[in-house]
Structure 1
Amino acid sequence: MELRRLEYFVAVAEELNYAKAAVRLKMTQPPLSQQILQLERELGVKLFFRTKRKVELTAAGEVLLREARGILRRVDHAADLARRADRGEIGELSIGFVGSATYDILPVVVREYRRQYPGVHLSLTEMSTPLQVEALVRGDIDIGVLRPPVPVGIESKTVQSAECVLAIPKGHPLAHAGAISLHDTATVPYVILSRKTWGGLYDDVVSLCNRSGFRPNIVQEALEFQTVIGLVAAGIGIALVPPSSQNLHAREVVYKTLDDVAPMTEMAIAWRTGDSSPLVRNFVDTGAAWQTL
């Protein structure tokens, strides 16, 4: 049974007038009458009582009208869903993110994305950059919010770049100093984010300290920036952290900008190379929100 014939049948059944139904369908009356006759032959039932004065539905026609309306509504709904899926307006998007993304970037972008695409379900999982890269390669997540660089096979877009600031326990002498250079920290214990979490930052901190004439006295490593700042607040040592960390432990930690050199920190969104999903494209292109950060 052709959907086109169902549409013709519904028009005639609702108008109960072949001429009016033909106008509604933007066709002439003879081919419309022929289509209804072919539908009746296909089904083996009579759908209309036709006289010169009026057209009425048979019992079979009444039943078919009810079912045909439902079928056509479902077909229209399915077509609409297909078009919305093609535009990336519905579906599920799996996102991995580093914990520090929640300090500023992630809330802003997720809020904007959900405003634009309320029909998309977001599944968010906190994980380190290395684990995100592995999950992207396996296809376990669609988007990563992570710290670059990323390996071959993964595309990325840097959305934030800033110099690290020095996190200092509130009672430490450096907390009350004026200008601070990296060399001023040569004898101070360091708390640092583990290489397992962010190898690039770890290596940059060590390299910059070496170029300033000393090897950093690393007394404690941690897997998350929240833990790093917590250890600084406890007086364990100082730390170089992204500026977005300044909202953490503000009462117990003083944040200062170095006067000379500091490691650069970047945040990026990442996705699999060649991924043509409109969901991924829309998340990347939500971009206006990313660029304001």
Structure 2
Amino acid sequence: MADFKRLGYFVQIAELGSLTRTAERLRIAQPSLSRQMRILEEELGVTLFTRGHRGMQLTEAGEALRSRIAGPLRQIGHALYEIRSLPTQTVGSVSFGMPPTFVSVLAPDLAERVANEAPGVSLHIVEGYSGHLLQWLKQGELDAAILYGPTPSGVNATRLLDDELVLVGTRAHVPESGELPFRDLAQIPLVLPSHIHGLRVAVETAAAKSRTQLAIAFQSDSFQLMMDLVESGRMCTILPPSAVQKQVASARLRTARIIDPAPKRQVFLAMQSGAQSPRAVIAVEGFLREELARLVDMGVFVGARIRGTAD
């Protein structure tokens, strides 16, 4: 049977793609680390990495092993942290997923709050669209994540927020009136994420209600590429106002409310189904809820409504 510590080394190498960087992070000798991987491969009877000028690349067998053990290893690590920290300390590593529209608005304040009030907690923010975050959460690579609705399946999810969505673009596409009927979107070239993501689902749901055929010119699961296309004036997109407040303040972009119907996004906080959430994860959840409520009160999330855990 493979040694627990050896499996942990394997996951670290898979993440960093380099024996040298992994040895530096773990503060062990590189030859010793390389030997541990050779032993693991011999125990399993498969090759886990290809070794070349691009570093350590997972083989098909290596990827299969990583996907199966990353979650369980994280849970074991949490359990060890919990036992070591009894009865009073809150310590541990928390991997928290957020969509791009939340990272720029919420992540900095959350990170500062955790650093000041829970210094024993190491917070790792992972950025991604809801579809990817849900997959990583189910695989155990994340402890918790903010996801767009509809209600995520296969995880424990509570509703955090209901938020409005607006048209985002340059002056060439967005009306000065600051408002337009949903049906007018049929004439505006749009860039949106692909169908597996919650933001796209919310927009498509509103399109179905208004019987509008959207003019989707391009699909992108890269938030930066999507914003580059919008700022170039080639296309518009649909986002919450909070995601583009800096661009609007500098007059690079403009937003307009969409009516008849007004598209809304439902935002959920999700955790692994059936998992015992360590105190560190619960502490981060509490900070996140408080920071989100503060930002809503400040008007950062325009038109948003905080939802309670019972909603």
TM bin (shorter chain): 0.5 to 0.7
Give the aligned residue type for 1:223: D
- 1:180 equivalent in structure 2: 180
On the 8 A contact 1:109/1:290 being kept in 2, the answer is no
Q: Secondary structure at the match of 2:234?
A: coil
- 2:202 equivalent in structure 1: 204
- 2:280 equivalent in structure 1: 279
On the 8 A contact 1:225/1:241 being kept in 2, the answer is no
Whole-angstrom CA distance in 1 between matches of 2:178 and 2:280: 49
Alpha-carbon displacement from aligned partner over 1:158-182 (angstroms, at most 9, x marks no partner): 333211011122233x432454211
Query: Aligned to 1:229, which of 221, 227, 248?
Result: 227
Residue 142 to residue 171, structure 1, CA distance change in 2 (3 Å): same
Alpha-carbon displacement from aligned partner over 1:246-292 (angstroms, at most 9, x marks no partner): 23533332111124322212333221133331112222223322332
- 1:25 equivalent in structure 2: none
Alpha-carbon displacement from aligned partner over 1:113-171 (angstroms, at most 9, x marks no partner): 33221111122322332332222222222121332345444112333321101112223
Give the aligned residue type for 2:114: Y
Whole-angstrom CA distance in 2 between matches of 1:123 and 1:231: 29
Residue 241 to residue 292, structure 1, CA distance change in 2 (3 Å): same
Q: Secondary structure at the match of 2:175?
A: helix
Give the aligned residue type for 1:275: A
- 2:294 equivalent in structure 1: 292
- 1:147 equivalent in structure 2: 148
Map 1:96-107 → 2, pairs under 5 A:
96-107=97-108
Map 1:1-293 → 2, pairs under 5 A:
84-87=85-88, 89-149=90-150, 151-172=152-173, 174-177=174-177, 179-196=179-196, 198=197, 200-247=198-245, 249-250=247-248, 251-276=251-276, 277-286=278-287, 287-293=289-295
Give the aligned residue type for 1:253: L
Whole-angstrom CA distance in 2 between matches of 1:218 and 1:93: 37
Whole-angstrom CA distance in 2 between matches of 1:256 and 1:152: 32
Q: Secondary structure at the match of 2:95?
A: strand
Aligned residues: 210
Extract structure 1 runs of 4+ deviating beyond 6 A. none
Alpha-carbon displacement from aligned partner over 1:15-40 (angstroms, at most 9, x marks no partner): xxxxxxxxxxxxxxxxxxxxxxxxxx
Q: Secondary structure at the match of 2:180?
A: coil
Give the aligned residue type for 2:268: A
Whole-angstrom CA distance in 1 between matches of 2:262 and 2:102: 20
Residue 125 to residue 259, structure 1, CA distance change in 2 (3 Å): closer
Give the aligned residue type for 1:292: R
On the 8 A contact 2:169/2:237 being kept in 1, the answer is yes
Whole-angstrom CA distance in 2 between matches of 1:129 and 1:87: 34
Give the aligned residue type for 1:134: Q
Give the aligned residue type for 1:256: A
Unaligned runs of 5+ in 2: 1-81, 296-311
RMSD of aligned Cα (Å): 2.6
Report sequence identity in percent. Answer: 22
Give the aligned residue type for 2:143: D
Q: What is the TM-score with the length of structure 2 in the denominator?
A: 0.59
Whole-angstrom CA distance in 1 between matches of 2:237 and 2:186: 12
Residue 98 to residue 85, structure 1, CA distance change in 2 (3 Å): farther
Q: Secondary structure at the match of 2:168?
A: strand
Q: How far is the alpha carbon of 1:183 from its aligned partner? A: 2.1
Alpha-carbon displacement from aligned partner over 1:60-100 (angstroms, at most 9, x marks no partner): xxxxxxxxxxxxxxxxxxxxx95745545112112222222
Q: What is the TM-score with the length of structure 1 in the denominator?
A: 0.63
* Larger-gyration structure (1/2): 1
Q: How far is the alpha carbon of 1:103 from its aligned partner? A: 2.5
Q: Secondary structure at the match of 1:216?
A: coil
Give the aligned residue type for 1:265: R
Whole-angstrom CA distance in 2 between matches of 1:118 and 1:158: 28
On the 8 A contact 2:114/2:123 being kept in 1, the answer is no
Whole-angstrom CA distance in 2 between matches of 1:254 and 1:187: 17
Residue 88 to residue 231, structure 1, CA distance change in 2 (3 Å): farther
Q: Secondary structure at the match of 2:247?
A: coil
Whole-angstrom CA distance in 2 between matches of 1:152 and 1:254: 35
Residue 205 to residue 162, structure 1, CA distance change in 2 (3 Å): same
On the 8 A contact 1:114/1:120 being kept in 2, the answer is yes
